[in-house]
Amino acid sequence: MSIELTIPTVGESITEVQISEWLKSEGDSVKQDEPLAVIDSQKTTFELPAPQNGRLVKIIAQAGDTVAVGAVVAQFEPDGEAKKAESNGKATEGKTPEPAKAATPPPENKKTVVAEKAEASPKNSGKETPPAPAKEAKKPETKPPLEPVKTKSLSAREEEVVPMTMLRRTAAQRLVEAQQTMAMLTTFNEVDMSAVQALRHEYQESFEKRHQVKLGLMSFFVKAAVDALKQYPAINAEIRGTDIIYRNYFDIGVAVSTERGLVVPVLRNAERLTFAEVEKAIGDFGRRAKEGKLKPDELSGGTFTITNGGIFGSLLSTPIINPPQSGILGLHSIQDRPMAVQGQVIIRPMMYLALTYDHRIVDGREAVQFLRRIKQAVETPARMLLEI
């Protein structure tokens, strides 16, 4: 007996998803937990695994279809059922089938007799009545896989129409919502990365040997952000109706770019994490984001976000807040620039920082001082360890 494959529950607020693509075709044999399809939801992309070894019998929901959570999208036949059907077929081989019993002729229909006599009459002699065409069985319509639509004009100028994924549509909606509902403002500063680079160079080998993970830049900024958020709690708060909700915990979202869009997994209780734990968690988020294996609860509930456009070469930007949060910190490329240090011009590795904040809850003075606190913590990392 075949098994019905349904869309699993992916979050309390998610009621429907979109079939992004089928990785297997009808009739393909698969192993247990092997991905069958890629599913897009409002918050993340995940894979639909095979429940056990078997065969994908029928695809019901096609690529591009939007289906409800719990809906049947395919039929799956376990290996045991396939072998059972095969053994039943072998058991019937070699046996002589019993002769069929003669069918009892149906009672003669008067209308049929009249029709036959009419055909035999002289008026109809020499004329052949063509048989009525057989009705073709109506085949079920199958929706082809979702593919880009290209249009070509005489001038060889082409356009390609590609439907937005559910993840990207949701992200676009939230970004527009943030622009329309918040009084967003961005302030900037720059930080000398010399101390961090020196620490990484000196302790990278021993750190990696002990913790099996590299000492990156993000752990320094996560710890610096927690330190600054403790000093300026409004940036870690949110507006809820006519109330301001202040928090004594720090769930830091880290923006991760994937082929299907931007996702922001959250480091829960970042104030309790060590540098190694932060680096391991971020590395794990990055790998699973690319594989589409992040869980919906890992993408919700952040209190503050850090995004690093520097990995793509961005020198300066104004990041958009992820509502209902009140702030987001943007990191950028590290560039060697001439700086005046104690009356001398010295080349230093510098990075621009950008803080976008909700001006309804955060004053400009607090935003500027928050960035200065980040700058001090990164330029003198010992402050984060000593908490001074």
Which two three-digit tokens encode residue 204?
Answer: 């990278």
Q: Is 71 helix (H, G, I), strand (E, B) or coil?
A: coil
DSSP 186-198: EEEEEEE-HHHHH
Q: CA-to-CA distance for 184 and 358, rounded, in angstroms?
A: 5
What are the DSSP calls for 88-151, one per residue? Answer: HHHHTTTPPPPPPPPPPPPPPPHHHHHHHHHHHSGGGTT---PPPPPPPPPPPP-PPPP--EEE
Q: In this structure, how many other beta carbons lie within 10 angstroms of the beta carbon of residue 85?
A: 10
Length of the chain measured in residues: 388
Spatial distance between the Cα atoms of 244 and 358, rounded to a whole number of angstroms: 12
Closest CA to 257 of 214, 312, 187, 333: 312
Assess whether the previous peptide bond of 35 is cis (omega < 30° from 0). Answer: no
Q: Within the chain, how many helices (H) and strands (E) appear? A: 8, 20
Residue of 253, 289, 275, 161 lying closest to 208 (CA atoms):
275
Is 349 within 8 Å of 197 (Cβ atoms)? yes
Tokens of 329: 């910190």
The enclosing H or E element of 355 equals strand 344-358
33 belongs to the catalytic site: no
Of 28, 211, 284, 359, which residue is the catalytic one?
A: 359
Do 62 and 142 form a contact (C-beta atoms < 8 A)?
yes
Task: Please say if 363 is a catalytic residue.
Answer: yes
Contacts of residue 220, defined as CB under 8 A and 6 or more positions apart, other chains included, come to 196, 275, 378, 381, 384
- Would you name the residues annotated as active-site residues? 359, 363
